[in-house]
Amino acid sequence: MFKQSTTDNQQDFFGSFDFNLDEQRIKVLNDPNSWFNQFFNNVTKQLAENHFSVLYHQHMGRSNAPIRILLAMMALKSGFGWSDAQLYEQVHFNLQVMKALGFVKLSDKAPAASTYYLFKQAVYQYHIDHGRDLIDEAFKKLTKAQLEIMGVDGSMIRMDSKLIGSNIIRCSRLQLIISCLQSFWKSLSKEAKTKLKETDHSLLNALSEKKPNNIVYPLSEDEKSQKLIELGHLLYRLQQSYDDSDSTKYFLIKRILDEQYQLEQDDKITLKPAKEISASSIQSAHDPDAAYRRKDTQTVTGYSVNVTETCNKTGLNLVTDIQVEPATKADKDYVQPALDNTAEISDPINEAYMDGAYQSSDNRDYGETNEIQLYYTGISGSKGTFEFKKTETGLEVTNRKTGETVNATEYKDNHYKIKLSSGKWRYFKPDEIDCYERRRAIECMPKEIKNRRNNVEATIFQLCFHTRNNKTRYRGQFQNKVWALSRAMWMNLVRIKNYVKNSNKAQEVALG
C-alpha cells in the first residue's frame, strides 16, 4: 500500500545525534553548508514520491518504505561510485550519509537491502509493462524544483553526447551464439524442454556445461565453421518448436537467427557475411539492448548518453535532461527530445549550443518553428573543393585548389553547373551550397558564442568519472539510464553546494 513519507523525522532527545556526540562533531553535523545537509535539503527533501504510487496497491498490503530515501540512496551510490555493499555500509555507519538521508537519531535505519532491490525491480518491470520511466520523472520533478528554488535561468542550454560501454565482455560470433543458446535453454521449464528431440536436448545440455570461451578455445578454424552451421540449424529447429509463451528469452533465438544467418531454399542455413550484420545486432546475451559503434578512434559496445544543461554566463547551471540509447543512435536525433524535455521543467528556451554532429534539416526547421536559435560549433564532413558566393546575377564558384573563379549556370531552380578544365560538367545541388554557407557562418561565429558549448565536455567527464575503461557497472539500457540519472542528481547537488558556498563568501566580502 502506498504511503507518502514525511521529511520531518520524529525527534528522540536521548537517541539524537546532538545528545550522543561531543560539541565539535555536533557543530560539523549541523553545518548548513556541508554536503550532506545540502544533499538533504536539495535532493532528499525535494524528491517527489506520488507518481510511484502506481507500483503499490491502493488499500492492501504493507506500507512502502520511504521512496525519497530509496531514490536518495541511488543518487549517493552513483555520486560516490559505491557498490551496493559499500552503500549499505555507509548508510548504516556513516553519520554524514545518515544526515544526507534525513536521519536525526542513531536508531534511524535505511530500508533493508531486499526492499532496495525489490523497489528497483518493480520500477524496471513497470517500465517494461507500461513504457513509463518513473526514475526519469523523479529526476525531472527534482530538477524543476531545484531550478525554481535556486532561480536558474533555463533560456540557454547546451548539450553533448558520450559513448559508454556496457558491463559485458566482447565475444566472437560463435561465443555469442552459444551464449544466447545457453541463456534460452536455462530459461525453459522442464516440461518445455521435453518438446525437443533427444539429440537436440543432449546437445544443449552439453553446451550449457561450459562457458562459451571454454567451448570455442580448443576448436580449429574449420571446426568453428562447422559448429556455426550446426548451431544455425539448431537455432532454426528451436524457432520452429517454441514461441514467446515458452520463455522470456525466446527473442534471443529469433534475433540471433535473423541477424547471423540466412535461410535459403530447402531450409538450408548459411552464415551471413560479416559486413551484412548490423551494428545494432545483439552483442551479448546478457545485454541485448547494447549496440556496436566505432566513432573516430573509439570502439564501444553499449550505449550513447546525451546530456543537456543550462549554460548561463554567470551563476548556477544544472543538468536538465539525460537520454540513454543504443550506441548506434545519431546525435541529431537527440536534439528535439532534449529541447522538449528541458522546456517542460524550465523557462522557454531561446538559444541552444551543440557541436556539428547534431545538425540536420529537421532540427533547423524545428528551431525556426519554435523560435529557438540553434548554434552549431562545427559541421560534419570535409570542406570540399569549391566555395560559393551568391551575386545579383547568379552564383560565383571558386576552386579552392586552383583559385579559379567562374560564374555558374543555373540549369534548374537553385541548381547550378560549371564546366571543368577537363571538359566535364560539375553540378551543384542546393544542399551542397547551403552546407557551404552554414560552414562559413560557423567559421565567422564570434568566439564567445562558440565557447559557450565547451563546458559541457566537463559535465560529460564528471558523468563518467567513476566508470572503468569507459564501461559502467551495468547491463541493459534502462539500468544504464538509471545510473546516468542518479549520477546527474549528484552532479546537480555538487553544483548547488558550490554555488551556495561561493555566494556566502561573496556576501561576507561585501559586508566587510
Give the residue, 319 or 504, on which the prediction is more confident. 319
* Helix and strand counts by DSSP (H, E) for the chain: 20, 14
pLDDT per residue as tens digits for the range 381-406: 788 889 999 988 889 999 988 889 99
* CA dist., res. 32 & res. 61, Å (int): 38
Query: Is the C-alpha dihedral spanning 32, 37, 39, 45 positive or negative?
Result: negative
Of the candidates 128, 164, 168, 178, the one whose C-alpha atom is nearest the C-alpha of residue 283 is 168
Per-residue model confidence as pLDDT tens digits over 337-378: 999 999 999 999 999 999 999 999 999 999 999 999 999 998
Q: Which letter, b or e, does each residue of 342-354 get, where b requires 16 or more Cβ atoms within 10 Å of its Cβ?
A: bbebbeebebbbb
| Spatial distance between the Cα atoms of 397 and 389, rounded to a whole number of angstroms | 7
What is the Cα–Cα distance from 238 to 276, expressed in whole angstroms?
23
Predicted local confidence at residue 9, as pLDDT: 63
Quickly state the pLDDT bin for 475 (edges 50, 70, 90).
very high
Does 12 have pLDDT greater than 80? no
Q: Residue 450: pLDDT above 70?
A: yes
Question: In whole angstroms, how large is the CA radius of gyration of the chain?
Answer: 29
pLDDT tens, position by position, 69-80: 999 999 999 999
Report the mean per-residue pLDDT for the chain.
92
Q: How confident is the model at residue 49 (pLDDT cuts 50, 70, 90)?
A: very high
pLDDT at 159: 96
Q: Look at residue 92 in the predicted model and tell me its pLDDT.
A: 93
Contacts of residue 30, defined as CB under 8 A and 6 or more positions apart, other chains included, come to 18, 37
On the question of pLDDT at 512 being above 80, the answer is: no
Question: What does the pLDDT look like over 224-245, one tens digit per residue?
Answer: 999 999 999 999 999 999 999 9
Per-residue pLDDT reduced to its tens digit, 128-155? 999 999 999 999 999 999 999 999 999 9
Q: What pLDDT sits at residue 14?
A: 57
Helices (H), 94-172: 95-100, 113-130, 134-150
Q: Which pLDDT band, with edges at 50, 70 and 90, does 296 fall under? A: confident
Higher pLDDT: 505 or 290? It is 290
Give residue-wise pLDDT tens across range 333-348: 999 999 999 999 999 9
| pLDDT score, position 13 | 55
pLDDT above 80 (res 18): no
CA distance 6 to 22: 28
Predicted confidence at residue 24, as pLDDT, reads 86
**What pLDDT does 15 receive?**
63
pLDDT tens digit sequence for 29-42:
889 999 999 999 99
